[in-house]
Structure 1
Amino acid sequence: MPNQQGATVAELALQQIGPRLKSWRQKRNLTLDDLSRLTDISASTISRLESGKRAPNLELVVPLARALRLELDDLLPRVVPDPRVPRVTKRIDQVTFEQLSPESSPSQAAKVTFPPPESGALPDPKVHDGYEWLYVLSGRLRLVLGEHDIVMGPGEAAEFDTRTPHWLHSAGPGPTELLAIFSKQGKRIHLRAKPSGAAAGL
């Protein structure tokens, strides 16, 4: 991904090789001529590489790393991927799920927003494999879990085995926002389209 100056992450990593090479050479108390004798690479080539005037390649970097008693990773930093999670939002039966973790993560995090409850809507508890943790951000959350039927407010958290029959929704009067962490399987179940007219809930 390009930065503000248009350079890619890989290009920025390559640009660090020269300064790293010079730093390690000086730490080893070696002059350009010393390193040249150890590698059969001319001192002028090493100098140009250190200053960024010569593009690095394996034919240069490998013998230089060996002479400096380094691993390649010491000269060629690992490219760190962009840590930001792409914003993906899905809406199922008026319940909004905003993805907060990458698809590759073993635990899936999401911001879930429930609409105000509908008059006459009844709980419809479900079961599935997994474990779930949730934290109420705003509004009032109704959680039906086994024989429990409780209402939670902002700042309250809960965790439970999803093999226990459970259902949750806004307790009203307005919408409810919460953070939820669950397994990939749990996420698939939560985002599965429900039959038309079914009450929204997890």
Structure 2
Amino acid sequence: MEPTLRRLLDDIGPRLHRIRQDRGLTLEELATSTGISVSTLSRLEAGKRRPTLDLLLPLAGTYRMALEQMIGAPLTGDPRIHLTPHHRQTRTRLDSVVIPLTTYPGRLQVFKQILSPTTEQPTLVTHPGHAFFYVLAGTVRLLVADEQRLLKPGETADFDAGLPHWFGPADSSPAEVLHLFGPHGDRFNPRP
């Protein structure tokens, strides 16, 4: 086997372990959602089990990731279509992963954000503009001024970002949202 392919295969287990940790999932929770046993998942993450499509496809579905992104496959084809996630981390944990879906300065910006669970107290922030997001997965807790809402997949939030606000997972599971920002500011404003 050529060295590049061997390195790619050797890196899949640790990569899957990091993804699971970033999502705040236990092996048991992942086993429940994928139908793969805890022992198989553990051996796969430790590099003691060869990654096969019958194992990787359910994981990609649970993580809502493209297979090539999940395993770290080398880029092919047109490089403009590959998305680059940005990790935002506090001193003690990964806070969120932000994936820009558009790159049009001065026009509508679209971002997917994966929010990690937290036990920290919410810190409300303000910034210029208007905020809109659509919940893709999980339950999102939204605080705006003195109001609180719990949002499920398919529900949206639309509010004046000049009001004190915060949002994050409502429970111990990660949540995913799709953000839209208008031309009033083509800079993404993640939660602190």
> Where does residue 187 of structure 2 map in the other structure?
187
Shift of 1:149: 1.3
Contact 1:130/1:186 (<8 A) preserved: no
Q: What's the CA shift string for 1:77-125, capped at 9, x where partnerless?
A: xxxxx8x65512101122100001114252211000001222xx11111
> Where does residue 89 of structure 1 map in the other structure?
85
- Structure 1 position 167 matched with structure 2 position 181: no
> Where does residue 116 of structure 2 map in the other structure?
115
Contact 1:85/1:102 (<8 A) preserved: no
Q: How does 1:21-36 map to 2 (within 5 A)?
A: none
> Where does residue 104 of structure 1 map in the other structure?
105
Identity %: 27
Q: Which has the larger radius of gyration?
A: 1
Give the 3 Å change call, closer, same or farther, for CA 86–179 of structure 1 in structure 2. same
Contact 1:132/1:159 (<8 A) preserved: yes
> Where does residue 146 of structure 2 map in the other structure?
147
Aligned residues: 108
Give the 3 Å change call, closer, same or farther, for CA 117–97 of structure 1 in structure 2. same
Contact 1:145/1:166 (<8 A) preserved: yes
> Where does residue 30 of structure 1 map in the other structure?
none
1-structure distance, mates of 2:81, 2:160 = 27
2-structure distance, mates of 1:141, 1:180 = 13
Letter in structure 2 aligned against 1:140: T
Contact 1:85/1:101 (<8 A) preserved: no
1-structure distance, mates of 2:151, 2:141 = 6
Contact 2:142/2:165 (<8 A) preserved: yes
| Secondary structure in 1 matching 2:189 | helix
Unaligned runs of 5+ in 1: 1-81, 191-200
Letter in structure 2 aligned against 1:98: I
2-structure distance, mates of 1:133, 1:153 = 15
Give the 3 Å change call, closer, same or farther, for CA 186–160 of structure 1 in structure 2. farther
Please report the TM-score for the alignment, with normalisation by the length of structure 2: 0.51
> Where does residue 128 of structure 2 map in the other structure?
129
Shift of 1:182: 1.6
Letter in structure 2 aligned against 1:153: K
2-structure distance, mates of 1:142, 1:183 = 23
